[in-house]
Amino acid sequence: MKFYKYQGTGNDFVMIDNRLGEWDDLSIENIQKLCDRRFGIGADGLIKINSAEGVDFEVDYYNSDGSKSFCGNGARCSVAFAHFLDMIEDKTTFTAIDGIHEAEIKKGIVKLKMGDVNNINTDGNDFVLNTGSPHYVKYVEMLKNYNVYENGNKIRNSETYKKEGINVNFVEKISDKELFVRTYERGVEGETYSCGTGVTAAALTFMQKSNQTSVGVKVLGGNLKVYAEKDGNGFKNIWLEGPAVQVFKGDINL
């Protein structure tokens, strides 16, 4: 199998060009093996770029445990990969598990249009919303020293969220224009260096209170930016922007 390794602010992915359908039957066990950091390539997730009618391509995303989801950083890396393969120029439309997305790429920076968010719910003092994947958002202080794994795992496996699973984001306000976000991801079952849908979820809860239309977000793997317009209790025209980089490529036997 020929593969490419991409990362978007430290959120890393095994990318496979599957336009000919060669890897349609890739098993969950294969995906787990390829994503294993000791016995495989190592990644937070695996993405197959498939052919699709009416759009440029399909993003077929799998978490490292083999479960399917939508991944914002994975989608951004998919756009960079499609650009590398000369499938697209600077603008594209593609489909993913949550529907159709638009995106732009310029000098390695990918700006991805996310789905509209109709409402933001609360759980005590915290927030729950879906930005393509379900997210729990909790504001904390001293996030740098916060135990993300322990606290994230506790919320993700609580009675309320255990069955379906939820991604848990811990947020610290740095300034009126910037947040620091760390995320415990379901499907990875640990902290990742960045989570695009989580960053978006955190930014929207902040924008709801601050009435801003953009916010910068610092993650362990770098910096992202989120743009959005308020629409009732929700948001529309939501965009996630940041770098997407090819790290290496290779061949592996399954």
Annotated ligand binding at 167? The verdict is yes
Residue type, 180: F
Query: How would you label 73-98 residue by residue, b for 16+ Cβ within 10 Å and e otherwise?
Result: bbbbbbbbbbbbeebbeeebebbbeb
Give yes or no for a contact between 173 and 143, defined as CB atoms under 8 angstroms apart.
no
Annotated ligand binding at 72? The verdict is yes
Residue 155, token pair as written in the block: 């919320």
Annotated ligand binding at 11? The verdict is yes
Annotated ligand binding at 89? The verdict is no
Instruction: Give whole-number Cα distances, 194 to 22, 71, 96, 243, in Å.
Output: 30, 11, 20, 12
Give yes or no for a contact between 72 and 240, defined as CB atoms under 8 angstroms apart.
yes
Which contiguous run of DSSP H or E holds residue 234? strand 234-243
Annotated ligand binding at 197? The verdict is yes
In sequence order, what DSSP letters do the residues of 100-153 get, joined into one string? EEEEEEETTEEEEEPPPB---EEETTEEEEESSSEEEEEE-S-GGG--HHHHHH
Active site positions, annotated: 71, 195
Annotated ligand binding at 232? The verdict is no
Give yes or no for a contact between 6 and 244, defined as CB atoms under 8 angstroms apart.
yes
CA distance 14 to 248: 10
Write out the binding residues: 11, 63, 72-73, 167, 185-186, 196-197
Write out the binding residues for substrate: 11, 63, 72-73, 167, 185-186, 196-197
